[in-house]
Structure 1
């Protein structure tokens, strides 16, 4: 590292060296979530208190030693970083990367996403208990379709509900599934949820962001830090852990190692062996219609 004593998080006096050591301590936890996935990054070269910017494509700012993958886009070919090792993670720290966001597909199956992500983003005035209830509601809808899901904090304001898949659906199919489920929830409880981005409609509601599932979109990786003053981290949880006590920014660079050291099992252990196929969302609507008719 150059300038290892540069402070990246002033409130905690966390330096470049500290962040590199943090990632070294959790490498076995974070790397499985990064390996073979194109990334988008948030760079804060002078730390979180100074200018930060979203970096989608690789430029001359990244050393040649970091793995790259070329991906065809609408009008050009973009080049993305892939983070497959601890040296690569430390390389990101050297560049002032404070957030790592990943695609929903692996490089090996680039056009076949292997997960769907529902991002629950609370609007102004929404208490945390409503956010946890929303995540459980999404889970219930997915279970009705015989789909297992996993939950994690975003390190920001909300929660991610993640559905692991066998690489198979197209980007359009994955995004369409997520959109229809989000719209279904918002339609049934319009006072509690919204499925479109207009901020004017989000006061007191939870935005179910399904747009994380279109080609080229990303979501913050599990165990990535966030470019926020208190140095929060996006952390996988067991469903039973959802509570008023664990808010989205509960875990930080300082506290996460203690949590991981105290875990008896990985709360997402089954994530790696859960491979599912997307059903037609109409199956859920049909089941709910039948159930409503019986009441």
Structure 2
């Protein structure tokens, strides 16, 4: 990566694999507590370029943009409040250069969009110049956006649990996957959770893959009832690890490997080996430490794309759960249209209770 300065405009131009990427305001503080500037963030992504490109290549990707950097009190805009300091960018910006590719996707509402689908480290660097810290790729390839080619298992610690509890559950995920003839690749979330990626054959719909994940989670919950929950409603989860099955719903994404999380110490989501997972902590991996690790050990997910498992055994398990235990679908996220076969989307404490005289 070579660079040149444009002092008159306060910018630098980086040569990223033969593509010139202009970085505006490179000295702008992005993580002031760590002394990290915008240019440091861009150079981080270039340093781990082969790894993050493998995680994003040809996948429609939502950009989590923090153009003002991460500072005390900074917050992310939401669907209900768009006055935050950061925001999700789902549509390709109008000023994107012609070498930034896109993928056409359909949201649950039926609306469509062209999202960035990175095919080079230069695209990643260009997105970083926009303030992108976290990349949220769909689990699909742009050649077939209706058929997921990854299962993403999100082990999400609930109040009263932490990263260590997610790590405790993770080997049980590995074992159960093995029983179904599948293999998973773990990574830290960059926060308190653990993610496990499972490459699958792109033959099934989002609905079918989500159903397979629900079946898997229910079996894990059956085996570890005191440690794992599948309850969508927070009031019912308790101090357990929630396996967030709705991460496999359409337009639900997980922070990619090597993404930066918007916390003061600039942590990153780090691919790890199963045998090193019990000995790591999320704070081990950040913008300053990950490039050296990447140079030393490479991409721990490098061979993920070489595999593709069938989900038939999980769909068969879902059928057995439905017949033997009467287990049907689970609630979708609140912004989804009502889905066929979905139960009432009302949290239990607000559900109407029959009056004493009702029959």
TM-score by length of 2: 0.74
Alignment of 1:1-295 (within 5 A): 1-49=23-71, 50=74, 51-60=85-94, 62=96, 65-73=99-107, 74-243=109-278, 245-263=279-297, 266-281=299-314
Measured on the aligned residues, the alpha-carbon RMSD in Å equals 2.2
Change (3 A) 1:63 1:196: farther
- Deviation (angstroms), 1:189: 3.0
Instruction: Report if aligned partners of 1:226, 1:232 keep a CA contact under 8 Å in 2.
Output: yes
Instruction: Report if aligned partners of 1:177, 1:281 keep a CA contact under 8 Å in 2.
Output: yes
Instruction: Report if aligned partners of 1:38, 1:102 keep a CA contact under 8 Å in 2.
Output: yes
Q: Deviations over 1:73-94 (max 9, x none)?
A: 3332222111221221121111
Higher mean alpha-carbon deviation, 41-50 vs 273-282, is at 273-282
TM-score by length of 1: 0.89
Higher mean alpha-carbon deviation, 247-256 vs 121-130, is at 121-130
Instruction: Report if aligned partners of 1:155, 1:250 keep a CA contact under 8 Å in 2.
Output: no
Query: Which has the bigger relative contact order, CA under 8 A and spacing at least 6?
Result: 1
Change (3 A) 1:269 1:208: same
Instruction: Report if aligned partners of 1:154, 1:249 keep a CA contact under 8 Å in 2.
Output: no
- Deviation (angstroms), 1:285: 8.2
2-side partners of 1:174 and 1:224: how far apart? Answer: 25
Structure 2, unaligned runs of 5 or more: 1-22, 75-84, 321-359
2-side partners of 1:15 and 1:248: how far apart? Answer: 22
Instruction: Report if aligned partners of 1:145, 1:283 keep a CA contact under 8 Å in 2.
Output: no
1:121 is paired with a residue of what secondary structure? strand
Change (3 A) 1:25 1:129: same
Instruction: Report if aligned partners of 1:159, 1:248 keep a CA contact under 8 Å in 2.
Output: no
1-side partners of 2:318 and 2:91: how far apart? Answer: 40
Structure 1, unaligned runs of 5 or more: 288-295
1-side partners of 2:162 and 2:59: how far apart? Answer: 34
Instruction: Report if aligned partners of 1:153, 1:235 keep a CA contact under 8 Å in 2.
Output: yes
- Deviation (angstroms), 1:197: 3.0
Instruction: Report if aligned partners of 1:42, 1:227 keep a CA contact under 8 Å in 2.
Output: no
1:157 is paired with a residue of what secondary structure? coil
Q: How many residues align?
A: 286
1-side partners of 2:299 and 2:63: how far apart? Answer: 26
Larger Rg computed on CA atoms = 2
Change (3 A) 1:59 1:176: same
- Deviation (angstroms), 1:101: 0.7
1:277 is paired with a residue of what secondary structure? coil
Instruction: Report if aligned partners of 1:30, 1:222 keep a CA contact under 8 Å in 2.
Output: yes
2-side partners of 1:284 and 1:172: how far apart? Answer: 15
2:177 is paired with a residue of what secondary structure? helix
